[in-house]
């Protein structure tokens, strides 16, 4: 089909159900058919210790109004330099909801699209990235002039167009704008 799926990055198990069986519920898929690696950001960062709460594992960042916004320590599985983030009110891919955040710097004429991110380092299967808005170039002010609020960070992989709000449908965490 053409439906967009947007799971967080990670390692998933593939489970199989035979053709002649009722394959409608998760418990119907009992046969392990292998592994599937999903490239993308973590909504919940890995916790090898097992001691962090869900709140501590969520990706969340803070920026300030009337200042340049940069974030570091963004985590995902096999992220690449050139990936982009967009600041939106939510990450739904359907355009009928206007989710752009007005007065957020961008390299394009669409508000909120980040400069290309760069991978700062890789630790086992975790890629750490940094992002900025309006630093490399901008079509507006480099400072964030948007209203203070909690926004969604929506991700688009390098190699895709990453020019329209619909291209940014993978929810990658929260950005708090103070101001």
| Residue 1 confidence (pLDDT) | 58
Q: What is the mean pLDDT of residues 123-144?
A: 83
| Residue 135 confidence (pLDDT) | 80
**Sheet order of strands, 170-178 included:** 60-64, 170-178, 149-156, 84-88
In this predicted structure, the answer to whether residue 96 has a pLDDT above a threshold of 60 is: no
pTM of the model: 0.84
In this predicted structure, the answer to whether residue 95 has a pLDDT above a threshold of 70 is: no
For residue 124, name the pLDDT band (cuts at 50, 70, 90).
Answer: confident
In whole angstroms, what is the distance from residue 117 CA to residue 71 CA? 10
| Residue 4 confidence (pLDDT) | 66
Q: What is the mean pLDDT of residues 110-139?
A: 86
Q: What is the mean pLDDT of residues 38-52?
A: 88
């Amino acid at each position: 089909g053409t439906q967009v799926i947007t799971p967080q990055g990670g390692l998933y198990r593939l489970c199989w159900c035979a053709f002649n069986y009722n394959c409608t519920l998760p418990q119907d898929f009992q046969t392990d058919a292998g592994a599937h690696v999903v490239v993308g950001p973590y909504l919940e960062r890995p916790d090898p210790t097992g001691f962090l709460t869900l709140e501590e594992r969520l990706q969340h960042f803070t920026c300030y109004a009337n200042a340049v916004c940069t974030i570091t320590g963004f985590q995902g599985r096999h992220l690449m330099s050139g990936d982009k983030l967009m600041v939106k009110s939510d990450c739904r891919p359907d355009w009928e909801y206007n989710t752009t955040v007005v007065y957020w710097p961008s390299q394009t004429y669409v508000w909120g699209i980040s400069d290309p991110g760069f991978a700062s380092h890789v630790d086992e299967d975790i890629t750490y990235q940094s992002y900025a808005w309006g630093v490399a170039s901008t079509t507006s002010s480099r400072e964030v002039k948007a209203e203070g609020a909690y926004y969604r960070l929506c991700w688009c992989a390098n190699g895709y167009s990453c020019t329209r709000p619909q291209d940014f449908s993978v929810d990658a965490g929260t950005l708090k704008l103070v101001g």
